[in-house]
């Protein structure tokens, strides 16, 4: 019985994710989500009483994918260069698996920033410890002196932007060549890691 319930809930969440990604919070309708999940609307309301509750569940799931891992990596005892490489590996792997994330998050953050930040806080993510770890790496001479906020934004931007702008990259840079576009994205991990490490490591500059 529990397995059936779990399967139905997973089916609803997958369907809701598809509809929310296409339509956004404001454009999505509960009937559409029920149709996408292959269930009736009454059953959908049994699991999630309102569109707001369902959206919160989806957005919480996405925030849970996107943020906590970075804290775990930075809290490890490994060298700072390893941490940078792991963050890049982790987030590019995540975006390759869920390429809809950047556009979806940006759309909903612009619609209601307060909701986004409440969910981030709910999952316990805080950038302050990461900035402290970056400062400590600078004090040890592992990386050059810089503004920690800029470093975080540089890394996230290089990971996220190509996925947010994938249609533009596909059309403008590769003339709609799917193989060339895919090859470009397959190369991103190594390219971004090399670029960042060359920029921040004293002996590599």
Contacts of residue 78, defined as CB under 8 A and 6 or more positions apart, other chains included, come to 86
pTM of the model: 0.77
Inter-CA distances, 147 with 80, 133, 137, 154, 161, Å? 16, 12, 12, 11, 21
The pLDDT tens digits for 147-183 are 999 999 999 899 999 998 999 999 999 999 999 999 9
Q: Give all domains of the chain, ordered by start, each with its CATH number.
A: 1-49 (1.10.10.60), 55-200 (1.10.357.10)
pLDDT value at residue 1:
47
At 91, list the tokens. Answer: 């987030």
Dist CA 22 CA 111 (whole Å): 15
Between the ranges 15-24, 124-133, 144-153, where is the mean pLDDT highest?
Answer: 144-153
The pLDDT tens digits for 53-81 are 888 888 777 777 767 777 788 889 999 99
Inter-CA distances, 167 with 116, 177, 196, Å? 25, 11, 25
Dist CA 133 CA 18 (whole Å): 37
What are the backbone dihedrals phi and psi of residue 142, each rounded to the nearest 5 degrees, phi first? -70, -35
Helices (H), 78-127: 80-97, 101-111, 113-122
pLDDT at 203 over 80: no
* Tally of helices (H runs) and strands (E runs) in the chain: 12, 0
Inter-CA distances, 1 with 8, 30, 44, Å? 11, 25, 17
């Amino acid at each position: 019985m529990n397995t059936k319930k779990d399967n139905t809930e997973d089916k609803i969440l997958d369907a809701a994710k598809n509809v929310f990604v296409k339509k956004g919070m404001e454009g999505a309708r509960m009937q559409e989500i029920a149709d996408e999940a292959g269930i009736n609307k009454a059953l959908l309301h049994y699991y999630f009483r309102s569109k707001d509750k369902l959206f919160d569940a989806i957005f919480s799931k996405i925030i849970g994918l996107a943020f906590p891992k970075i804290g775990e990596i930075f809290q490890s005892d490994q060298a700072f260069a390893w941490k940078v490489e792991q963050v890049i590996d982790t987030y590019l792997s995540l975006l390759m698996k869920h390429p809809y994330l950047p556009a979806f998050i940006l759309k909903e953050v612009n619609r209601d920033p307060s909701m986004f930040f409440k969910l981030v806080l709910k999952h316990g993510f805080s950038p302050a410890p990461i900035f402290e770890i970056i400062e400590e790496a600078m004090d040890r001479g592992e990386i050059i002196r810089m503004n920690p906020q800029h470093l975080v934004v540089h890394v996230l931007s290089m990971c996220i932007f190509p996925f947010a702008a994938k249609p533009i990259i596909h059309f403008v840079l590769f003339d709609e060549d799917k193989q060339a576009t895919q090859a470009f994205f397959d190369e991103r991990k190594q390219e971004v890691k090399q670029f960042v490490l060359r920029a921040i490591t004293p002996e590599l500059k």
